[in-house]
Chains A and B, each alone.
Chain A
Amino acid sequence: GDSVTQMEGPVTLSEEAFLTINCTYTATGYPSLFWYVQYPGEGLQLLLKATKADDKGSNKGFEATYRKETTSFHLEKGSVQVSDSAVYFCALSDPGTGRRALTFGSGTRLQVQP
């Protein structure tokens, strides 16, 4: 079945450092790819998405490019802030099943220190 693999955390960075969180996937068909963010005590929020190969999703300084050849969707940000501390989830859709559900990775906790 479809699956998503994320780098394990926690990832600890100093403010203004460069961030990369790796995400690779296995899927049949042509899924859309997503990054969700979960701040402490809250539900998940959509951060960005890409619907087809070579698309780049971006939001709030975060970016990720849908790479079909490497089945990857790595999340990057050039300069992290303390307020970016959260858990980040990579996810893919399941087109063709009729469910419109998402399959999630295990999540990566990011801690940004001042």
Chain B
Amino acid sequence: NAGVTQTPKFRVLKTGQSMTLLCAQDMNHEYMYWYRQDPGMGLRLIHYSVGEGTTAKGEVPDGYNVSRLKKQNFLLGLESAAPSQTSVYFCASNGGRENTGELFFGEGSRLTVL
């Protein structure tokens, strides 16, 4: 009963380093999302995908790239990390045949950029 799984759960980077966060869902959902959560700002949408092979920008896409090569996976990449990218990142999915509006979230990945 995995649902949405994110790896890694914690990571510390130095400024300028790169990394990739992996999100995997086993619910056969079409839609997937990456949000970042910062104190006092709620969750903000970084990028999203409406199906395998598609990606699109959300509200705060700068400094991030994504890929959706397989339906079950959605990768978030940081090519050159900056301290402003210190945050908790959440992956979510949506996509039953009925659009109930509900998003299913992973447990989050805490990233610190020094």
Contact = CB atoms under 8 A, between A and B. Distances in A.
B43 to A, nearest CB: 4
A4 B41 CA distance: 11
A43 B108 contact: yes
Interface string A30-70: 00101000000111111001010000000000000000000
A101 B30 CA distance: 12
Interface residues of A, number: 23
Interface string B93-114: 0110001111101111000000
Given A43-B105, A44-B90, A44-B105, A98 B50 contact: yes
Nearest to B49: A99
Interface string A98-114: 11111111110000000
A32 B107 CA distance: 24
Interface of B: 4, 31, 33, 35, 40-45, 48, 50, 56, 58, 90, 92, 94-95, 99-103, 105-108
